[in-house]
Structure formats: structure tokens, C-alpha cells
């Protein structure tokens, strides 16, 4: 039997440490093809390139793996893989990461890592985004490898609900071992931003985005709680952002007749 075809992408760029670890894990499970940005694309959300050229060049960076670097966004990378690289082939799994930094809660909306996974789900491919809650370029990924392999195997064996991508976050390396995996909901939390006003050497004003992450959620079934308590959080995500309860409420309470 042929091996599963696995597409690997990310938002930290094709030379990041996290994608190198992820490629190594996926090589145990199938035939790996990498299409990733040629430079960091963190915080790009689900942006796509319109009105500018997109470069795509083959790169000999991983042993025994066909890899391409792209000037586009993470979502662009998945689109290019589908329409140009794979053509008549269909990946059995799309994985993105391993991101250097958390993508829990509201961060899923801003995440380039998750945009690649969600783009895969839009195209009908089983997809997973992996993130480590450690922003260091020298982050230790050794404690997450067995969990990534286990989760990817589950998806390959059982498939995914239509249109769903998994948002998987790992606590940073601690003295104690990870306690296990928690299937979670997204925490009710947000960034409270501040714009630091600064001046460049020429006296021109600019702003630097800063702020703090605030968790309003007191539940024990969300991704923030899982990470704080040393569990791997797994949140199934949909690209359908329709507020179905809002439709019900508005139909009941609003007057649509003139």
C-alpha cells in the first residue's frame, strides 16, 4: 500500500526549528511534501496574496523530502500545494507548525499557523495546527513529539468531521511530564492591546503594538485551563463563523416586516 501523502506548512518560515521537528515526525507516518513561507508570517491570519507576485522555489533543506519555499502567506502555501504541486493528487493530511508560541483562545483568528490548517479544512483535507507555548527560537520540542505522532495517527486512521481543523497547543517543557490530552473548547479570552507611541531617529512618529492577554474564562474545559494545568489542548475549529444562536434570537425578537 502507498504511504499517506502529508503536506507540511507553517508560519514561522521554512528554516524554523519547529517545522524541522514536525517534518521528522511526519516522515514516520507517510510521504512528506513541504510548502512553507520563505520568511516569518506570524499574525497574518488567513491573509492571501492579491495584487502581488508569489514566488515558489524548490529548496533542498530536508533530507529525503520535497520542499518548496514561497513568498506567500501560509494560506497561499496550501493553495499552491493543491493547485500547482499536487495537481491530481490529494493529501491525506495537512499539518502546520510546530509554531513557536501559543495559539490558544482568540489567537486562532490571528494565527498564520492555524490559517494553513483551516485552509486545508476548507479544501476538504484532514488538517491540524500544532503550537508550543514557548516563543523562544531555541524552544525544546522533545516532550511533544510522541503526542504529535499520536494525534496525527488518530486523524489518519479515523478522518475528521467535514470542515473541521484541529488546533493543538502544548505547554512549554516543564519539570513534570505532560499529563495527557484534553479535548477542549476555545477559552473566552482576548488581548487588551496598547499602542506604544515612539519616534524614529528622524523624529517621525510610529507605533508598536503591545498589551496583555486577559483570560475571562473560569471553566475547566477550555484550552487555557488545559495548558495551565500541563495538558495538551485539542480544539476542533470550524471556518463557518455563522452565529446560529444569533439567527434564532434575531428571528424571535426583531421585526423584519415593514
Binding site feature residues: 11-12, 42, 99
Please give the annotated binding residues for a divalent metal cation, written as ranges. Answer: 11-12, 42, 99
β-pairing, 93-100 with 66-70? unpaired
Q: What nine digits make up the cell of 69?
A: 519555499
Short-list 145, 113, 117, CA closest to 42 = 113
Distance CA 171, CA 125 (A): 27
CB neighbours of residue 67 within 10 Å: 19
The grid coordinates listed for 3 are 504511504
List beta partners, residue 66: 33
Amino acid at each position: 500500500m502507498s504511504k499517506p501523502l502529508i503536506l507540511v506548512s507553517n508560519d514561522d518560515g521554512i528554516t524554523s526549528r519547529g517545522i524541522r521537528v514536525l517534518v521528522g515526525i511526519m516522515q514516520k507516518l507517510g510521504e512528506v511534501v513541504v510548502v512553507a513561507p520563505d520568511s516569518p508570517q506570524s499574525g497574518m491570519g488567513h491573509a492571501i496574496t492579491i495584487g502581488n507576485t508569489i514566488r515558489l522555489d524548490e529548496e533542498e533543506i530536508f533530507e529525503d523530502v520535497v520542499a518548496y519555499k514561497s513568498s506567500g502567506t501560509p494560506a497561499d502555501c496550501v493553495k499552491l500545494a493543491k493547485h500547482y504541486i499536487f495537481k491530481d493528487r490529494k493529501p491525506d493530511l495537512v499539518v502546520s507548525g510546530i509554531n513557536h508560541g501559543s495559539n490558544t483562545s482568540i489567537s486562532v483568528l490571528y494565527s498564520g499557523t492555524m490559517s494553513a490548517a483551516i485552509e486545508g479544512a476548507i479544501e476538504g483535507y484532514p488538517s491540524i495546527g500544532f503550537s508550543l507555548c514557548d516563543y523562544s527560537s531555541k524552544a525544546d520540542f522533545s516532550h511533544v513529539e510522541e503526542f504529535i505522532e499520536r494525534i496525527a495517527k488518530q486523524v489518519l486512521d479515523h478522518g475528521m468531521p467535514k470542515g473541521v481543523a484541529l488546533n493543538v497547543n502544548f505547554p512549554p517543557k516543564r519539570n513534570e511530564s505532560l499529563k495527557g490530552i484534553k479535548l477542549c473548547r476555545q477559552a473566552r479570552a482576548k488581548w487588551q492591546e496598547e499602542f506604544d507611541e515612539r519616534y524614529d531617529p528622524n523624529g517621525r512618529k510610529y507605533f508598536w503594538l503591545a498589551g496583555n492577554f486577559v483570560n475571562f474564562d473560569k471553566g475547566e474545559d477550555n484550552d487555557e485551563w488545559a495548558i495551565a494545568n500541563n495538558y495538551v489542548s485539542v480544539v476542533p475549529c470550524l471556518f463557518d463563523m455563522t452565529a446560529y444562536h444569533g439567527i434564532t434570537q434575531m428571528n424571535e425578537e426583531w421585526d423584519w416586516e415593514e
